[in-house]
Structures are given as structure tokens and as C-alpha cells.
Amino acid sequence: MRLLLSIATLSLLSGAPPAVSQTVHYTLAPEVSGGELTALRVEVRFRAGASGTTDFRWDDGWNGEHRLWQWTRDLNVAGARTVEQGADGHWRIQAAPGATLTVTYRVVSAYDHDPTVQDSDQARPVVRPRWFYAAGNALFGFPGDQESAPATFDWRGAPGIGFASDLEHLAGRSRLALRAGTVADALESIVIGGHDLRTYPAGDGSGVRVATIGRYAFTPEQLNDLARRVIAVERDFWGMDRGAPFLVTATPIVGDPTVISFGGTGRGDAFALWIDQRTPLDRMKWLLAHEYFHSWNPVRLGAMPEDRDTRPAHYWFSEGFTDYYARALMVRAGLISPAEFAAQWNEMLAAYAGSPVRSLPGAQAATAFWENEATQKLAYQRGALLAAIWNRRLLAASGGRANLDTVLHAELLAARSSSENATDLFRRLAARSGVRIDADEARHLVRGEPLRISEDTFGPCATIVTEQRPVFSRGFDAEATAAAGNVVTGIDPRHPAYAAGLRNGMKILERTEGEPDNALVPYALLVEDRGTKRTIRYLPQGAESIAVQQMRIRQPDAAECRRTLGGL
Ligand SMILES: [Zn+2]
């Protein structure tokens, strides 16, 4: 049976025409009506294969969206004999072998309003009257199996409409390529533009461009300046990519008064940020440092399992270490002060101490990763804590000659000629630097025993103390309340919130004081109670108490603190 199958496969293969790699030319243009943007126009030009049949299709999925062609309208093919549309985003094109085919279509907006915290989804194209944003996967179709074919790109603009994309790093009609591009690059790209686009070119030799739309709690100049500094610091850390083209884009999402929302996604030689208008610049430091570190971790440090269910078991490395370095590199470079460094760690340490899933065994945590925020955070928390612990141990084992940097730099080299998982490579290289991590992995990552860091984890400038404090509790069911449109649900009658007057059915308009996971600072909510607005202020403390580790800075002004806190 097996033999028969393989013969059948062979004859099928030999009967098929060889896949020819032909350059695919992409052109993008805005569609404008009465001065307002209405859609994006795409043209894809390529040659029909030797069989004359082309399967013109969209990427299988990105960021949870599997129907990436659904915003395509009025698709037309010039140069074809027949075009047949399948039900699943495939267009079957018949043409003379080698004929030039020009596919044109419009991509319409997935939104009839500005995206909000509740409905912003990075795969869905946005075309608003004054601006647009789209991911390449939702924008560009491609001929069948030609994902690795060379690709070029041109923007055919209109007066007054700005444009920025990492596709500009590829060759176009009037442009030399900064690097060779493929169809896969087009799919992994990001495009933004419109009347309101602000762009900051790569005039400083860094190759970095920044493009923003909308208004934020900071100026576009501040974001531009910060992005350049963060990128320079991380390129120096890895000793590579200096001068390489890189684009940072920022698009606005309409905020919710009760939460602050911001996020980003790496797109190869770009990353896309989605920021709500209330996000302070401080938060952007962490986000930029974290996201840009992903340009190396894990993609250039080894393999990661592709499978959606086993992959999260490796996030302690790809997310946790990235988090550790976001803070460490920022304090080393002076982008954050020792006090800010401690505040960021303390927020995380308090959240970890109060985490409902703190002791969850690794296999269960991986399965539950996509289900709730607490298990997602757990991977970051465990990984960052282990990074700090192992860094200290590496310093001790080597008499100060090696630390976590040493292992990661060795891993960058080793990964070039290895197909091993990044986590396996790390384990092997850490052992070579004198630290075996197997026992910690078994205890904390597999069995889920809570992690504790020792007093001197961050060197002589900081000490780790343990405090007994009440657990953080808002006094109501936060998830159910959010699901009910911020109408208070599940109030606890024994909680200080109840004593302060908060009741089920009140609508929360805004949180005006307080910090997530911090039981020690007052919480204040502006609520609407039967037509009247009032502020309810209370301590967000539950009945139980927990032990919380916290970092205290000893000599905030000492110059060497930036180094030692940063793990050097
Ligand atoms: Zn991340």
C-alpha cells in the first residue's frame, strides 16, 4: 500500500510542470473620492506558468484571521482566457503559457469607524476618510506556489496622501532595492498612509524610519526619538544590523476609559504599533524595547515549535527573556532610571505573587495560554525571573567574566548552523558557561513551583525584600464587568469597594486612580449611578494576604548602578 502510494505521488510530481520563479510586481494606489480615502487599489503583474493555469490566492492566515481575501472587491484579470472564483479566496486563471497577467482589485475597509480597544484586530484593513493601514497578508494576493519568487513594489500616490511601508525597502520602478525582496516579504509587510501621516526619514544613517498617524499622549517627535534610541541600543547589544532599513509605524485605536491598550507586532524589517490615545510615553519605552528585541529572540536564536499548543511551553525563553532584556538594556542605556527599573520589576513581581495560576504546571499553562491573560502573563513572568536568576548564577560561576549576554551572544552564532530549538541551544550553551538549568526547569517550568529571587539578584545597588500585603482585588468580577460593557457585575459585599458605595449595575466610566495589581494605592472609579456621575474611592484589597517580593534601590545615583542593575 505504501509502495503504491509513493509511486502514485512520483508520477503526479513528474507529470506536473516545474514551478518557474518569475518576478511578481506589486503596485498600490489610494482610491480617493471627494478628497476622502475610500479604498486601496492593488495591481499584481506576473507571468502565467508553463501549464497556463494559475491559482491566484491569499495567505492561509495571520493573527487569527483565516479569510484574508474577504475585503477584496472587483477583481479583474487582464491577459487571461478565463477566470473562475472559488469559494475560499482562490481564483483559477487560465491563460496562454507565459502570458503576462495583470490582476487588479480594490481592498475595502473592515471598519466603518475608527478601530477601538474592543474591536481592533491587526489583520483587518482600515481605510478611513483621512488615513489607512493594512497588513500585507490582507492586501496582496499571489500566484499559487510563488511565495519565494522575487517581488518588486511601487506606490502610485495621490497629492497630499502620505505613504510609508517596509515594502519601500524593495526595488520598484524608480527605486533601487535596499535588499532583495520576495512575495513572502510583500505578505509580511505593513502599509500606512493618508492625509495625516507624519514620517521621519532615515537621515541619520541608522536606516530607521518612523511613520505615525493620529494623536497620542506624546508627540510624534518624542516617539521618533525614542524608537531610534531603543533600536540603536539593541543593535549595539547584538553587534549587528547597524544601518539596516527598519520601519516603525504607529496607528491609533480609540481607547476605553477603564483600560489602557497598546500593542505591537514584528513584521520582519518593520514593526507595527497600535496605541490608544491615553498611553503614556513611558509605556512605549517598554513596548519598543520588547518588540524590537524580538528581531533576534527567538528568530535568530534557534527554532521554535510551530504547533500552536506546544509553542507556548517555549515562551519563557522567547517572551520572558525578551522582557528581562527590555528592562535591562533600557536601564544600562539610561533610557529608564534605576527607580523606574525597580518600579517596572515591582509591578511584575506583585502581579506574579498575586497570580491565580502561579503554581500551574507547565503543560497545563501551555494549554491554557490562549485562554486567559493570567496564563499569558505567567510565561513572561517565569521567563524574566529565571533570566535574572541565571544571570546572577552565571556571573558567580565565572567570577564576573560571563553573564546571560555571553550565552545569548554564543547562541546567536550557534543558531546559524543549527536546527535545534532555541530553548535546547540555550540549555547547552548555559552549561558550557558553567550553569546547568535542568533542575530549575523541572521545578519551576514543568512542576510550576513558585519562583523566588535572592536578595542580591540585581547586584549591590538593589536588594530584594519580601512584604506581606493584602491581595489585589477590585471587589467585583472584572472580566464579567468588562463583558457587560463596564456595568459592575459580581460585587463582593465584604469588600472595601462595597463599603465605599460600589454596587452591581453601576456603569464604570473611567478609572481615575490606582494601578493594576497594586493593592497598596487607592483605586478610584468614576461611575454613573442612575443618571448621576460620582467617584468611588477605595483600597483594592481582598481579605487574604500574600508574600510579595519587591526591589529596593540602595544608591539610586551611583553610576555603576545602571550596569549592575542591568545584569552586568
Ligand atoms: Zn513579545
Report how far ligand 1's centroid is from the alpha carbon of 224 (Å): 21
* Confidence (pLDDT) at 88: 86
* Confidence (pLDDT) at 553: 96
Alpha-carbon distance of 340 to 281, in angstroms, equals 13
User: ipTM of this model?
Assistant: 0.99
Report how far ligand 1's centroid is from the alpha carbon of 110 (Å): 26
Cell matching residue 463: 536588594
pLDDT higher than 70, residue 447: yes
Report how far ligand 1's centroid is from the alpha carbon of 297 (Å): 9
- In terms of Cα–Cα distance, which of 402, 449, 410 is closest to 426? 410
Angle between helices 338-353 and 373-397 (to 10 degrees): 120
What is the side-by-side order of every strand in the sheet holding 53-57? 82-85, 90-94, 53-57, 142-143
Report how far ligand 1's centroid is from the alpha carbon of 185 (Å): 21
CB 105, CB 72: distance < 8 Å: yes
Report how far ligand 1's centroid is from the alpha carbon of 337 (Å): 22
Report how far ligand 1's centroid is from the alpha carbon of 34 (Å): 41
* pLDDT class of 343 with cuts at 50, 70, 90: very high
Question: What is the largest distance, in Å, between two alpha-carbon atoms of the chain?
Answer: 79
What is the mean pLDDT of the segment spanning 57-80? 93
Report how far ligand 1's centroid is from the alpha carbon of 136 (Å): 21
Report how far ligand 1's centroid is from the alpha carbon of 164 (Å): 24
Report how far ligand 1's centroid is from the alpha carbon of 63 (Å): 14
Report how far ligand 1's centroid is from the alpha carbon of 388 (Å): 17
Three-state DSSP class for residue 209: strand
* Confidence (pLDDT) at 259: 74
Report how far ligand 1's centroid is from the alpha carbon of 532 (Å): 42
Report how far ligand 1's centroid is from the alpha carbon of 376 (Å): 11
Long-range contact list for 530-533, CB < 8 A, 24+ apart? 533/509
The protein residues having their C-beta less than 5 angstroms from ligand 1 (an ion) are 319
Three-state DSSP class for residue 129: coil
Report how far ligand 1's centroid is from the alpha carbon of 317 (Å): 10
Report how far ligand 1's centroid is from the alpha carbon of 327 (Å): 13
Report how far ligand 1's centroid is from the alpha carbon of 3 (Å): 46
* pLDDT class of 62 with cuts at 50, 70, 90: confident
For residues 372 and 538, which has the higher predicted lDDT (pLDDT)? 538
Report how far ligand 1's centroid is from the alpha carbon of 295 (Å): 10
Domain ranges in the chain are 311-459+557-565, 474-539
In percent, the amount of the chain with pLDDT more than 70 equals: 96
Report how far ligand 1's centroid is from the alpha carbon of 328 (Å): 15
